[in-house]
Structure 1
Amino acid sequence: MRRVFLKQAKRFPWITNVTLYGCLFAGGDFAHQCIAQREEIDWNHTRNVGVVAFSFHGNFNYFWLRGLERRFPGRSARMVLRKLFLDQTIASPLATTVFYTGVSFLEGKEDVLEDWRDKFLNTYKTGLMYWPFMQFLNFVLVPLYLRTAVMGCSAFLWAAFLCFSQESGDGTAAVALAWLLSPRTKLPPLDSREEK
């Protein structure tokens, strides 16, 4: 199976990388809902997260990583540090903004910027504890044709965190860890909570 995937990734890098990234990102929302022990999965929310992941995140990251490699080729410390700096100052804020505003838009929220205003800064700071390490490994160890797919594996956990933050967190790792480690009872479906 691995051999087939690698062959397809070399032959159709854009489709393979974007598809895997989008599936893993949407899977992060599904994992979050399973961990939250919901009585019923909110497939509309997972669909919305998937739409944002497929339409923006996967495509953006695919071309962004190629652009970085073209401008700063190689794996020398100097080149990797440049790529990390640009990734965290340009791509990370943009991706976080698109997640919060995109999902809010698809959910039909009246104020699509509300989650972004409330959680962006905390989420960005939390991402600075996660993404530089993950991207360092990506830039140093992974061939370019697989970088978006490997980034999708990291994005699976990140998407679960983002979905928690959007629903009931504040964008900080401390609140997410406290929630994860606390005993939980099954939550009612999201729709029934919104009606109250």
Structure 2
Amino acid sequence: MRDLLRRKPLLSNVASYGSLYVGAEFSQQTVIRAWDEECKDEPYDWKLMGRYAVYSMALAGPGLFYWFRWLDRKLPGKTFGTALKKVCADQLVSSTGCTTVFYVSMSVLEQKEDKFAELREKFWPTYKVSCCFWPPIQWLNFLFVPPQMRVITVGVASFVWCNILCIFKRTVQV
């Protein structure tokens, strides 16, 4: 794995991130089937998982790869102060951008008439939860994780985060 990360860092990070992201939607659908008798026999929504794959592998994964690279160049090191600056920048820039791109890209892929309706309705509730979820994870990420492993680390955390997004997407109605 380390050799692949060194030889093809973008590809390996994006593939890992995308697999974890799509896996989160798969797990979400599995849990819904287990808990809701009415959904028990419904087929998996592979088109929805495909949309999550497009978002995670074409947009979020590469975006995070280049974002962390840029952030590490602008704020090198792993000191307490540097990690704090990276966490603040990540929450203000990356989390805001990823949340925006998530809702708009999903609306585009779902061919919704108003591509920004879901963003207007769900951005602030989602962002507030992200302010509780991501800073502690990114704090650990920036202090202890080698730069080439950061997107994968975020991918593991995104497995949980994507389940949260799936809940927002399913429960907050536009």
Residue 6 (structure 1) aligned to one of 2, 5, 11: 2
Counterparts of 1:103 and 1:116, CA distance in 2: 10
Match of 2:93 in 1: 90
Moved over 2 A (4+): none
Q: How does 1:1-196 map to 2 (within 5 A)?
A: 5-37=1-33, 38=39, 39-169=42-172
Unaligned runs of 5+ in 2: 34-38
Letter in 2 for 1:53: S
Contact 1:17 1:62 in 2 (8 A): yes
Contact 1:97 1:120 in 2 (8 A): yes
Greater Cα shift, 155-164 or 51-60: 155-164
Q: What's the TM-score once normalised by structure 2's chain length? A: 0.92
Question: C-alpha root-mean-square deviation of aligned residues, in Å?
Answer: 1.1
Question: What is the CA-CA distance between 1:112 and the residue it aligns to?
Answer: 1.4
Letter in 1 for 2:134: W
Contact 1:80 1:140 in 2 (8 A): yes
Letter in 2 for 1:32: Q
Counterparts of 2:4 and 2:58, CA distance in 1: 21
Counterparts of 2:164 and 2:31, CA distance in 1: 11
Unaligned runs of 5+ in 1: 171-196
- Identical-pair percentage: 34
Question: What is the CA-CA distance between 1:152 and the residue it aligns to?
Answer: 0.5
Count of residue pairs brought into register by the alignment: 166
Contact 1:32 1:161 in 2 (8 A): no
Counterparts of 1:160 and 1:105, CA distance in 2: 21
Letter in 1 for 2:87: L
